Chains A and B, each alone.
Chain A
């Protein structure tokens, strides 16, 4: 089962939930798809790491063949091409590798070449395989690194937990598309609920079955409870607002193994997720 862990805003607890679910499952794969700031490895501390470069394509222009028509420059929706002097020049960090320039070029002057944009690291923590996508700083698109991390790590026969990027943009869409079930981690605040509703729209649109984990709960937050009730969204688990958990996280500890109560909480959460996902 491929399980995507999402949230509207950053800091809601995606990594906390993902890491603890993978460790609770025992044999599992954890994939960090939050490639701009992958932090699951800070908790999982994987060993025997193997690295694999991720590259993306950029255009190269043949000045002999270029007829100076500028069709490529006008076509580029990302404005990654500039016509300087007498030829187009590409700005690699702005290029999204769509290949459009090569298609519109009437004289076959565009050739695509490979360029490294990030790395995928694979390591182990006990029986948990830890796959981390790492995007090079300054790159415009996270999608190639996420694709490569998913290809490396996704194994449908065992539990695969995808720690997704925050928000509801391209990189989240890429992460969610392969998931069988989604967990939305939400903070019971007005801000948390607002951004959670944006992700709810996304998972509905993608027709994915999903449920909610409320993190840092300090008494019921009625607007969130009402939203879940009205839309028949299952609340799979509730993680309390607790100084102890914050302390464990700050120390880079994995709460489900360091704290018995949290261990039980995640065992029950994993059970609830499996039950929901199978129905």
Chain B
């Protein structure tokens, strides 16, 4: 299983980036191999539609799960369409969130904000 997490730093001992679409970095964690790979988010500086572009990146990375602090409705629609499951992150580092997820302690994301459409 591949898990995506928006990050501010390339370090699993640091916390998550509170934004999804404009997070500078995405962590992709492979539960089979235990490997962590960091990617630059191509949508971080998008003038508009960052959430959709970031969602496209997560889809293309073949993630199965997204753990995030927030997520917009447009991105959520993309994830629903391809069957990526979105979980609400807890406080703490990426590593702590991955372990909480493995223990089934993270809730499903139920609230998606309306998105800012470049108006932020």
Residues of B that sit less than 8 Å from A by CB: 43, 46-50, 52-53, 55-56, 59-60, 74, 77-78, 81-82, 114, 117-118
Contacts and interface: CB of A to CB of B under 8 A. Distances in A.
A89 interface: yes
Given A91-B49, A93-B117, A94-B48, A83 B56 contact: yes
Contact of A79 (B46, B59, B81): B46
A140 B51 CA distance: 14
A136 to B, nearest CB: 13
Contacts of B81: 84-85, 89
B52 A85 contact: no
A91 B52 contact: yes
B114 A82 contact: no
Given A78-B49, A89-B81, A94-B52, 16 more contacts: A73-B56, A78-B47, A78-B118, A79-B46, A79-B49, A80-B49, A80-B52, A82-B52, A82-B55, A83-B56, A83-B60, A84-B59, A84-B81, A85-B81, A93-B74, A94-B117
A77 interface: yes
Interface of A: 73, 76-85, 89, 91, 93-94, 138, 140
Given A73-B56, A84-B78, A91-B49, A79 B114 contact: no
Interface of chain B: mostly helix, strand, loop or mixed: helix
Contacts of B47: 77-78
A82 B84 CA distance: 14
Interface of chain A, helix or strand or loop or mixed?
loop
Q: Of A76, A84, A85, A89, which is in contact with the most chain B CB atoms at under 10 Å from its CB?
A: A84
11 contacts: A78-B118, A79-B49, A79-B56, A80-B52, A82-B52, A84-B59, A85-B81, A89-B81, A94-B48, A94-B52, A138-B117
Given A82-B55, A82-B59, A83-B59, A138 B48 contact: no
A79 B82 contact: no
Contacts of B55: 82
A78 B60 CA distance: 19
Contacts of A94: 48-49, 52, 74, 117
A138 B113 CA distance: 12
B48 A85 contact: no
